[in-house]
Structure 1
Amino acid sequence: MRRLQYLVLLAVVSFGFAGGGMFAEGAAADGFYRVVGGKADVRTYNGYRRYNAGCNHCHGPDGIGSSFASSLIDRPLGVEEFRRVVRNGRSSGGTSVMKGFGNDPNVAPYIDDIYAYLKARAEGALGRGRPERLEP
């Protein structure tokens, strides 16, 4: 875990000095998000809002995890698995249980937006806190 934190810190510092900004710019290879100058596209910005309206209570601020639920940025899921877990829930077989949100109108229609936000965080394109929004 310490090694991963060190590598992430090294990447952030490297991008900060080499790229003129604090985080990497651009889009995910699969097109899920677009970040320019620390500003997020509409989908990713909405994902931030939706994440903070429902997911952060368990998974911590900015997807970093908590003592209650795992980080969503340290070991991100692929989009299909993410959709399945959010819709149907998951149990680790022990005491850890995530309920499904497939019938929640505040989550289900926005699963891909939430994924875009978390993917941008996991790939270092967005830092912590509320991102500014790119104008369409």
Structure 2
Amino acid sequence: MRKITRTAPINGLTAIGTLLCAIGMTSAHAQEAPYKVEGSKVDKATLAGYKLYTRERCETCHGQTAEGGGAFPSLVAALKNITKEQFVATVTNGKGAMPAYKDNAKVIEGIDGLYAYVKGRSDGAVPAGKLEELP
């Protein structure tokens, strides 16, 4: 005779809870996208972030498309695993070989747009190459 245990309902509830959390996280993530994109056109803040990325020569280390190369990290990959707060802290205070930009007013003022651009690249929403502003 097979012994009946009470873990099956608990395991089922755990699976349902995990699924609901995953759905909630995915929905929240989709709603929180800091960028708007239509082809190669992006919102004003994301375009400003792209221009800041270029003007401040971020591509020197992270590449023109933010995909890194050699010893330099890919921001496209990094932003899959870090929060906006971690991104801001790294840009502001530096980390490892990354210099701190806390004294660069242009970077600090434009950090939200910079995040939007790099996050959009990381999410696969913002294409590589020249961008234009959405109407």
**Which structure has greater strand proportion?**
1
Rg (Cα) greater in structure: 2
- Structure 1 runs (4+) deviating above 3 angstroms are none
Residue 38 of structure 1 corresponds to 40
How many residue pairs get aligned? The number is: 104
TM-score (norm 2): 0.71
Identity %: 35
- The answer for unaligned runs of 5 or more in structure 1 is 1-26, 92-96
Q: In the alignment, is the contact (CA less than 8 A) between 1:45 and 1:133 conserved in 2?
A: yes
CA distance in 2: counterparts of 1:75 and 1:33, whole angstroms: 18
State the 1:71 CA deviation.
0.4
Q: For residues 97-108 of structure 1, what are the structure 2 equivalents within 5 Å?
A: 97-108=97-108
**1:73 partner letter:** V
Aligned pairs for 1:109-120 within 5 A: 109-120=109-120
Structure 2 Cα separation of the partners of residues 110 and 89 of structure 1: 16
CA gap 1:41/1:111 in 2 versus in 1, 3 angstroms = same
Where in structure 2 are there 5+ consecutive unaligned residues? 1-28
TM-score, normalising length: structure 1:
0.70
Higher helix share: 2
* CA RMSD, 1 decimal: 1.6
Match of 2:78 among 75, 79, 85: 75
1:74–1:83 distance in 2 versus 1, CA, 3 Å:
same
* Displacement of 1:64: 0.9
